[in-house]
């Protein structure tokens, strides 16, 4: 049976995990404040702090990243503005802190913008690109692939830009602010209690806690910068905030506090170990002091810490567990991210730090890393750091392996590309085939009704066609009879009545024959037209049958395949980019190695040569060389060296007069003088 503490209800495992806090709860904890010399502690913290200065290389890289992103975003989000904020701007950042960036852009919804940014960064080959869409402030996180600097991008997070300015003003107030805040942040980071995602305070919250301590120390180190009669109200993202910040905070109070960093640090841990402020209070730097929970209306909600810990059903801690008010957004309690175990860890770590200090432990003991995986490696600026100690041949071998991998990746890309093209072609062909099949059916279906119609028309035509007489013949005959019946006749030649009757009846018969014949002709034409149509349809059908093939299936399957292959291609392209970058880096390193070797060889050669020259010099008969030089005879390089070494040409006395005269003339013609160049002349010289 597990042993449960009767007082706290904590299990044995929990007592072991948070021993100091458990002892405190059961009144067994005793940490006596020792008489410690704080100078040593101060010195250690100041030394740590001086190591936190951003190097020029890191700063250059950070600036380059920001200016690259500015350009990219300007193109993609017209009219946007990218601003850096957070500790890299306030000066309260650790050396390996992140870069916080805010993109101000109103064109689209923030989450959509962040999704586009995430895609863009992945295309750029940035590492660990993660979109955190459901946080209070959604962000895209990623790592610069070269330096491993972590970068966060948020959208329209303007309030953070203002609170960064406030923190910067506090930093400028007193030289102790930076080392003090950095020491607290470093302690929290290395002891695993500075990670909002894991249920502990954010880095920003620790900064506010540290600043509040400096405002409330006795006497205070820091004033309240947000005080003043003239209030500045401004609308940010639809809400009005009081953004008053005193521009000259140094005038607010001249600090009488002369404590060194060591004193301040020990007092800080003393307060949080022996005088836990959060039972009754809220941390509020905009008030310059803690304010009561009651006044703020931030009473601690249930379940409270130990209840939440011991009751397995109460997993979430109640609201306002360790309230820290945001200086501008007064409704924002930074403790809302805290979880039960996180608060237990925070309490334990305060007690541990205080005990270590009182036992005479060093600052490095206080900040001893608890979870190495949560602490960032320092940013890398030496691109070849890992190669410097490796023998050259090993780099060459590595390069060969990478080249092979690159070839493999390139052929993978080729295969995927052709597979994708095939899938697209197949999808197109199936779509087209489906259209053709449709057409074929339509054409086929039209044949039968037309055939019926043809038969019908044919029948009809043939039935009236039995005694078919061409229409034109009937019309001619009708004309003739008509003339006979209507022409002017004299009495003598007038047809007999019988003949006239016959003509009339013949005319009527012709008329009826004409009707008949016209109908037959119409039916015949119709028959021919239908036959033509039928023939056209059959030709068309033939054509459609010829162009369609035996392709069946679902084109959507091929569309899906093409999409899947595209995603695969994107990731292989990324792999290719990474390999290329690494190959480029190794090649550059090998070039550097070769250059160094060449330079070494050259300098050895030069040394050797100098030695040879001096040797030759000594073997040259200088008087003989001088005589040869003065008589205009040729001299060797080693002769020249020896001559220059023994006073040069001026030392030659017997230079022929003629020659010297010629030289003089030439010199005068060229107008060369020993005066200073134009740039060196001042008016005074004229």
CB of 150 to Mg ion, least distance (A): 8
**Rounded to whole angstroms, how far apart are CA atoms 593 and 387?**
11
Size of the site for Mg ion (CB under 5 A): 4
**Rounded to whole angstroms, how far apart are CA atoms 442 and 436?**
10
Does residue 94 belong to the site contacting ligand UTP (CB under 6 A)? yes
Residue-wise DSSP of 259-296: --HHHHHHHHHHHHHHS-GGGTEEB-GGGTS-EEHHHH
Instruction: Choose between 180 and 204: whose C-beta lies nearer to ligand UTP.
Output: 204
Instruction: Choose between 117 and 151: whose C-beta lies nearer to ligand UTP.
Output: 151
CB of 47 to ligand UTP, least distance (A): 19
Does residue 241 belong to the site contacting ligand UTP (CB under 6 A)? no
Q: Measured in whole angstroms, how far is the alpha carbon of residue 305 from the centre of its chain?
A: 40
Please select the residue that binds ligand UTP; options are 18, 100, 169, 308, rule is CB under 6 A.
Answer: 100
> 52 to 91, contacts with ligand UTP by CB under 6 A?
85-87
**Rounded to whole angstroms, how far apart are CA atoms 569 and 417?**
8
Considering only CA atoms, which of 109, 106, 118 is closest in space to residue 78? Answer: 106
CB of 120 to ligand UTP, least distance (A): 22
Which residues, other chains included, contact 288 with Cβ-Cβ below 8 Å and sequence gap of 6+? 215, 216, 223, 224, 226, 227
Does residue 334 belong to the site contacting ligand UTP (CB under 6 A)? yes
Instruction: Choose between 197 and 637: whose C-beta lies nearer to ligand UTP.
Output: 197
CB of 196 to ligand UTP, least distance (A): 7
Segment interacting with ligand UTP (CB under 6 A) among 93-101, 355-363, 474-482, 510-518: 93-101
Residue in the block written with tokens 């020259």: 613
Residue in the block written with tokens 């059916």: 441
Q: What are phi and psi of 598, to 5 degrees?
A: -60, -45
Instruction: Choose between 159 and 457: whose C-beta lies nearer to ligand UTP.
Output: 159
Please select the residue that binds ligand UTP; options are 38, 143, 200, 203, rule is CB under 6 A.
Answer: 203
**Rounded to whole angstroms, how far apart are CA atoms 82 and 65?**
12
Segment interacting with Mg ion (CB under 5 A) among 54-62, 79-87, 625-633, 642-650: 79-87
- How many helices (DSSP H) and strands (DSSP E) are in the chain? 21, 9
Instruction: Choose between 349 and 639: whose C-beta lies nearer to ligand UTP.
Output: 349
Does residue 98 belong to the site contacting Mg ion (CB under 5 A)? yes
CB of 11 to Mg ion, least distance (A): 37
Please select the residue that binds ligand UTP; options are 18, 73, 105, 204, rule is CB under 6 A.
Answer: 204
Residue-wise DSSP of 616-680: HHHHS-HHHHHHHHHTT----HHHHHHHHHTT-GGG-----HHHHHHHHHHHHHHT--SSPPGGG
Does residue 207 belong to the site contacting ligand UTP (CB under 6 A)? yes
Residue 45 partner contact from Mg ion, ligand UTP, none using kind-dependent CB cut-offs of 5 to 8 Å: none
Residue in the block written with tokens 């003393």: 270
Instruction: Choose between 207 and 427: whose C-beta lies nearer to ligand UTP.
Output: 207
Residue-wise DSSP of 146-211: TT--EEEEEES-HHHHHHHHHHHHHHHH-TTHHHHHHHHHHHHHHTT---GGGTS--HHHHHHHHH
Which residues, other chains included, contact 487 with Cβ-Cβ below 8 Å and sequence gap of 6+? none
Does residue 150 belong to the site contacting Mg ion (CB under 5 A)? no
Beta-sheet pairing, 81-85 with 99-104? antiparallel
Does residue 98 belong to the site contacting ligand UTP (CB under 6 A)? yes
**Rounded to whole angstroms, how far apart are CA atoms 328 and 334?**
12
Please select the residue that binds ligand UTP; options are 93, 138, 179, 262, rule is CB under 6 A.
Answer: 93
**Rounded to whole angstroms, how far apart are CA atoms 123 and 108?**
21
By the 8 A CB rule, do 281 and 293 touch?
yes
Please select the residue that binds ligand UTP; options are 145, 165, 202, 578, rule is CB under 6 A.
Answer: 202
**Rounded to whole angstroms, how far apart are CA atoms 82 and 69?**
8
Instruction: Choose between 84 and 118: whose C-beta lies nearer to ligand UTP.
Output: 84
CB of 589 to ligand UTP, least distance (A): 32
Residue 204 partner contact from ligand UTP, Mg ion, none using kind-dependent CB cut-offs of 5 to 8 Å: ligand UTP
x/- contact string, 473-502, with Mg ion (CB under 5 A)?
------------------------------
Segment interacting with Mg ion (CB under 5 A) among 93-101, 413-421, 493-501, 673-681: 93-101
Size of the site for ligand UTP (CB under 6 A): 16
Instruction: Choose between 62 and 461: whose C-beta lies nearer to Mg ion.
Output: 62
Does residue 97 belong to the site contacting ligand UTP (CB under 6 A)? yes
Q: Which residue minimizes CB distance to Mg ion?
A: 86
CB of 212 to Mg ion, least distance (A): 19
Does residue 100 belong to the site contacting Mg ion (CB under 5 A)? yes
Q: Is the link from the previous residue into 156 a cis peptide, with omega within 30 of 0? A: no
Does residue 223 belong to the site contacting ligand UTP (CB under 6 A)? no
Segment interacting with ligand UTP (CB under 6 A) among 196-204, 294-302, 373-381, 623-631: 196-204
By the 8 A CB rule, do 360 and 34 touch?
yes
Does residue 163 belong to the site contacting ligand UTP (CB under 6 A)? yes
Instruction: Choose between 117 and 436: whose C-beta lies nearer to ligand UTP.
Output: 117
| Cα-based distances in Å from 560 to 377, 417, 658 | 42, 15, 96
Please select the residue that binds Mg ion; options are 25, 86, 213, 457, rule is CB under 5 A.
Answer: 86
Beta-sheet pairing, 150-155 with 99-104? parallel
The contact set with ligand UTP (CB under 6 A) reads 85-87, 93-94, 97-98, 100, 160, 163-164, 202-204, 207, 334
The contact set with Mg ion (CB under 5 A) reads 86-87, 98, 100
């Amino acid at each position: 049976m597990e042993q449960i503490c009767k007082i706290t209800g904590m299990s044995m495992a929990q007592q072991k995990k948070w021993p100091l806090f458990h002892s405190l709860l059961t009144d067994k904890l005793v940490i006596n404040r020792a008489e410690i010399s704080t100078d040593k502690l101060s010195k250690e913290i100041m030394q740590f702090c001086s190591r936190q200065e951003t190097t020029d290389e890191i700063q250059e890289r950070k600036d380059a990243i920001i200016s690259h992103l500015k350009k990219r975003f300007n193109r993609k989000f017209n009219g946007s503005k990218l601003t850096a904020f957070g500790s890299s701007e306030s000066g309260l950042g650790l050396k390996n802190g992140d870069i916080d960036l805010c993109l101000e852009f109103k064109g689209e919804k923030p989450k959509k913008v962040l999704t586009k940014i995430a895609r863009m960064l992945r295309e750029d080959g940035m590492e660990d690109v993660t979109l955190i869409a459901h946080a209070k402030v959604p962000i895209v996180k990623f790592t610069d692939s070269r330096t491993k600097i972590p970068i966060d991008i948020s959208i329209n997070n303007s309030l953070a830009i203002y609170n960064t300015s406030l923190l910067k003003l506090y930093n400028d107030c007193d030289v102790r602010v930076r080392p003090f805040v950095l020491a607290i942040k470093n302690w929290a980071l290395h002891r695993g209690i500075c990670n909002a995602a894991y249920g502990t305070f954010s880095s920003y919250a620790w900064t506010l806690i540290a600043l509040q301590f400096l405002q409330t120390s006795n006497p205070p180190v820091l004033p309240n910068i947000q005080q003043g009669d003239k209030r500045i109200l401004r609308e940010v993202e639809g809400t009005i905030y009081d953004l008053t910040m005193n521009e000259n905070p140094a005038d607010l109070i001249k600090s009488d506090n002369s404590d060194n960093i060591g004193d301040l640090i020990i007092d800080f841990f003393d307060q949080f170990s022996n005088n836990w402020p959060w039972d009754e209070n809220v941390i509020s730097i905009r008030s310059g002091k803690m304010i009561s929970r009651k006044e703020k209306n931030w009473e601690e909600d249930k379940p409270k810490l130990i209840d939440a810990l011991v009751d397995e059903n109460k997993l979430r801690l109640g609201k306002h567990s360790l309230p820290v008010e945001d200086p501008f957004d007064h409704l924002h309690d930074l403790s809302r991210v805290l979880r039960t175990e996180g608060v237990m860890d925070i309490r334990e770590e305060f007690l541990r730090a205080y005990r270590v200090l009182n036992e005479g432990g060093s600052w490095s003991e206080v900040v001893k890393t608890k979870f190495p995986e949560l602490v960032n490696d320092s940013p890398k600026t030496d691109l070849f750091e890992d190669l410097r100690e490796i023998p050259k041949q090993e780099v060459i071998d590595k390069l060969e392996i990478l080249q092979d991998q690159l070839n493999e990746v390139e052929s993978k890309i080729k295969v995927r590309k052709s597979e994708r093209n095939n899938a697209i072609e197949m999808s197109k062909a199936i779509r087209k085939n489906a259209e053709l099949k449709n057409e074929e059916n339509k054409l086929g279906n039209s044949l039968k009704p037309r055939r019926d119609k043809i038969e019908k028309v044919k029948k009809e035509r043939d039935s009236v066609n039995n005694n078919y007489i061409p229409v034109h013949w009937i019309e001619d005959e009708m004309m003739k009879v008509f003339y006979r019946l209507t022409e002017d006749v004299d009495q003598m030649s007038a047809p007999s009545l019988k003949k006239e009757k016959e003509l009339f009846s013949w005319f009527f018969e012709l008329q009826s024959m004409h009707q008949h014949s016209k109908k037959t002709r119409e039916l015949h034409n119709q028959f021919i037209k239908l036959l033509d149509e039928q023939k056209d349809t059959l030709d068309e059908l033939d054509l459609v049958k010829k162009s369609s093939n035996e392709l069946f299936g679902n084109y959507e399957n091929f569309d899906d395949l093409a999409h899947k292959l595209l995603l695969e291609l994107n990731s292989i392209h990324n792999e290719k980019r990474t390999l290329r970058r690494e190959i480029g880096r190794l090649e550059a390193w090998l070039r550097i190695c070769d250059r160094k070797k060449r330079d070494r060889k050259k300098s050895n050669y030069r040394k050797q040569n100098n030695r040879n020259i001096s040797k030759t010099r000594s073997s040259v008969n200088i008087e003989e060389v001088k005589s040869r030089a003065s008589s205009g005879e040729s001299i060797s390089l080693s002769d020249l060296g020896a001559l220059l070494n023994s006073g040069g040409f001026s030392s030659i006395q017997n230079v022929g007069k003629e020659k010297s005269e010629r030289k003089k003339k030439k010199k005068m013609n060229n107008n060369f003088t020993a005066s200073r160049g134009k740039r060196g002349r001042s008016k005074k010289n004229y």
